[in-house]
Structure 1
């Protein structure tokens, strides 16, 4: 209830004479008081409207008792003066108008036909309506907070809902002061600067402070057994007292209950996300779509990109938290992401247009390696999964934080995406049948000891032939033997390996086997052909 509201009621026929200081007409009214005393301030608490007929006031100029009449009312916090004409004065004394203008106190005229009791009732009704509306608003807000408890992620939902209802921001800190959940990706106040305010000595204590123009409320969250669970920090732009403290206190109480069950609920949510992310990567997004709003707040818009995110467990957990705040922002979210742990890696599916935003965030601190697929639709997601997996493997081998599939960075080689130890194991197993086979350049197979000057290992004969791309004469020169002898030895090797040396696939396998094998290589070290 404000003076502007009161003046707007036509039935009262009130007219404004002096506006007072800027904004004075919109300040809430606490009550109405009637007095004819030259100094009614001992009977006022502040916030009232004073009604008077000026029964003891002189008409021409103020006497000594009334010399500071308006300034005393201003100091007492009076919201305005209503002067009733037609009883003692036909009009408001001019000296009172000047005093009210100088003191910044609004002054309005009350005609004789409007009884003061009508104004009193109007103020009382307005205050009552305000109170009812406040109770209704508090009830609605409390119900919205209570409903947050029944969501998949109650802790994050309570924090975000509180920020929305107070018109500011909120964050839950763990007992050491690190952010566990927040309403916004970036908070306007650094939590480290609140270190002193987080030193609570009383269980369930609350503290209030102001920093960087924000009114901040901090609530100590404790379990029923007295264990510190963390701190709820909420802020709103404005002076101290701007925040709805009862609502923040209720959020703290709900968090004390929700945090206890967070471990189990988080495990369930993580497992659910993992299963549903795997289904999306396998091209079954239509099955997942009806649950996506509850799990990820929706699905990203096509075309899409799959991200394989590789790193240590703590880095992957941070990556998961990185995706959460985008989903929890109060503004309309256009940066949706499907994400979850699949086969030891974090996987995310995002809109291709937003992929750069995500990869820049993920690779910012250097602890994560990311492989990104090309653009696909939901039905092509199995291909995107394969591309992102390959790109991630190549990024790991190349020691770079990000590779986009098909981008031309670090041209793909088979050995760059296969673990070297696995390649060596394959090579040794593939060539094991000829590992100890040697030829004597003068007498034929098994004619010399491996360490003899005339001996050559079968692996080196095969490697020379493969490096010469099957040209017998060139391979014979490399090994120092006649081309017919080389051909005979290749037949022995093919029989031992049970391999068809005319098959391109077989020769490709043997080329990599010879390149990485620990057997042979007595002719020369292999080149990177």
Structure 2
């Protein structure tokens, strides 16, 4: 009775592959192929040493299995080697490396025959080469491949961003994308007609399949009560959904019962397929692509290429994000309105006269800082603005500032710390900017993703502004000439005298905070441990 394995299907680890030819070309290893196909496309995803007679349970797939033949029983015949090699192949092993000495002085002839019969590349590992040396060479080649792929993706991102900044950016972005993936890129309009293309056109059947994928990921209107639903039976999208049942990895969409109007499951945002060796992918574009909060505008990016790598998907995702911004502006015309507002401001118009062009009378100022240590690049800043629903973005160094209409809620965003001002009209934007900066500093110090500046009435409002300002100037005069002292005192008081949180908020060492607060106490001739003194100073600092 034939044994049936309960092991799951072999899975290739998510690591950059290494060409077997590149490993054989390493003169320091001295490896030699003695059996199996001479296929330049053979790749390995790792090296694993095992002396088990059945290595199947210990392989993930894609490995170069290394063995010195310790497991081979004395007098083993062709049947043993046939079973051994067949199990390696069943587990998805990429190649077998057999080490010479000290167990075997030569590779067993029966092993060579079995590898040749099962199509498994067999490498002879000379006595001077250790298995750990082979494994290290594999990881070195992987690191080189990863570095090269990251460099390729980075260069592609830069070229795509440059193309997006051109006056008529759609075709330049598609051209750069097609060039970077070595294939074809197309922008589908909401009715799935080809709005713009670039690159080498794929065969007709692949081109039609890509159009079908675009149908799958775009929204489909069916009734006034439902924004999207499944495509009707007989449509191209329905055909794509049926094809998807036979194409692993492609999103499928159910067909509604004839005459029935119901809301379907959420429309997928991506879909992929392979037709006669051509890899296809479709990306739905929207004002919130990648954020989970945006809407699908109906535009779809499609790509077709003769190969597929993880880097290609990353590059296509960047292009999809850029095209989402560009097509969103194409639909709403906000870019023209914003440009008009900027020109009028530069020509001397007061802010309150141009705010109607921006889409609102009152706005929140948002200060945002990424959670990592690196400063945000323009693409990240633009994506932040898209997530917040505003194109008015200023990437100022480590902090990104965004003007958000007051009627749009500002919610926490993964990977960002946000400080939000109260809603303000144009004459108060400068003050709102200061409040947003203070809210961001406090948010970072208290390690919360979002903090809003309070807008409830305070006791300070009971004092006439002129008298309050005069009192504040008099009380803070000894430290007024040192902004660092004033800012440190304000932050320290707002954080209840916490040295560590103040240091985080100001990006200085905690000892620096202690020195500055001690200096403030000396210049002000005040006991900063006294709550009454703290309250009076806080009252004064709120007026500055």
The structure with more radius of gyration: 1
Normalising by structure 1, what TM-score? 0.46
Normalising by structure 2, what TM-score? 0.45
